[in-house]
C-alpha cells in the first residue's frame, strides 16, 4: 500500500492540488496530512476518489469548527485532533504536527510505532530512531526553499519512503 504524506499546506491551494496529483500518479491509497492547513477552503483540494484522508491539526489551524465541518462533509476523511494512531498494512503509525521536538523524539524512542510522521519545521526529513522511521514530508509555506517543497510516499510493500517535488505556488 502507498501512503501519501503531506504537511504545512498553509492555504496554498495550488500546492495541495499539485501534491494530490503526485499522489494520484503514484497510486497512493491513503493520504496523511500532518497539520497546518490554516483554514477550511484548502481541505476539499485534498479529497480524491479512492484515497482515504487522515489529518491532525497543527498549531496554526484556526476555525476549528469549520475544519471539523469540512472534514465531516468529505466521503472518506477523518480529522483526528492533535494526535493520530493509524495502521496501514500492519505498520503502526503515529502522527503529530510536531511543534514540540521532545514529543517527536519520545514517540520515536517508544518502540510502539514503525513510523512517526510530523510537520511543522518546514524541512523534509527521514531518519531512523531504533526501529522507527521518522518522516517530515516538507512544507508548502510561501517562504520554504524549493528543496523542501515536497511530499513523501511510504510504500508498505518494501517499507520505503520516497520524496517527490511539488510544483505549486501561491
Please give the pLDDT value at position 170.
47
Instruction: Tell me the residue range of the domain where 15 lies.
Output: 2-165
Task: Centre a 10 Å sphere on the Cβ of residue 111 and count the other Cβ atoms it contains.
Answer: 11
**Alpha-carbon gap, residue 60 to 27, rounded angstroms:** 30
**Cα–Cα distances in Å, from 68 out to 17, 65, 77, 82, 83?**
20, 5, 10, 13, 15
Please give the pLDDT value at position 141.
85
Mean pLDDT, residues 161-170 taken together:
82
Confirm whether 129 is domain-assigned.
yes
Give the chain's domain count. 1
Confirm whether 62 is domain-assigned.
yes
Confirm whether 65 is domain-assigned.
yes
Confirm whether 116 is domain-assigned.
yes
Of residues 23, 18, 17, 21, the one with CA closest to residue 4: 23
Query: In which element (H, E) is residue 14 found?
Result: helix 13-25
Confirm whether 151 is domain-assigned.
yes
Confirm whether 6 is domain-assigned.
yes
Confirm whether 119 is domain-assigned.
yes
Confirm whether 170 is domain-assigned.
no
Of residues 81, 13, 15, 21, the one with CA closest to residue 48: 21
**CATH code of 146's domain:** 3.60.21.10
Beta-carbon contacts of 122 under 8 Å, excluding residues fewer than 6 positions away, are 8, 138, 139, 141, 144, 148
Residue pLDDT, tens place only, 114-141: 999 999 999 999 999 999 999 999 999 8
Residue pLDDT, tens place only, 75-121: 999 999 999 999 999 999 999 999 999 999 999 999 999 999 999 99
**pLDDT confidence band for 13 (50 / 70 / 90):** very high
Amino acid at each position: 500500500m502507498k501512503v501519501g504524506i503531506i504537511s504545512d499546506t498553509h492555504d496554498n491551494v495550488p500546492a495541495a492540488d499539485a501534491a494530490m496529483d503526485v499522489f494520484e500518479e503514484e497510486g497512493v491509497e491513503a493520504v496523511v496530512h500532518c497539520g497546518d492547513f490554516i483554514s477550511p477552503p484548502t481541505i476539499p483540494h485534498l479529497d480524491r476518489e479512492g484515497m482515504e484522508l487522515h489529518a491532525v491539526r497543527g498549531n496554526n489551524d484556526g476555525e476549528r469548527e469549520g475544519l471539523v465541518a469540512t472534514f465531516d462533509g468529505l466521503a472518506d476523511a477523518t480529522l483526528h485532533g492533535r494526535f493520530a494512531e493509524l495502521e496501514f498494512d500492519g505498520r503502526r503509525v503515529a502522527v503529530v504536527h510536531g511543534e514540540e521536538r521532545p514529543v517527536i523524539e519520545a514517540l520515536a524512542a517508544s518502540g510502539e510505532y514503525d513510523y512517526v510522521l510530523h510537520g511543522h519545521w518546514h524541512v523534509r526529513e527521514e531518519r531512523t530512531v531504533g526501529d522507527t522511521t521518522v518522516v517530515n514530508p516538507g512544507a508548502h509555506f510561501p517562504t520554504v526553499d524549493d528543496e523542501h517543497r515536497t511530499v513523501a510516499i511510504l510504500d508498505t510493500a518494501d517499507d520505503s519512503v520516497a520524496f517527490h517535488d511539488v510544483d505549486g505556488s501561491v
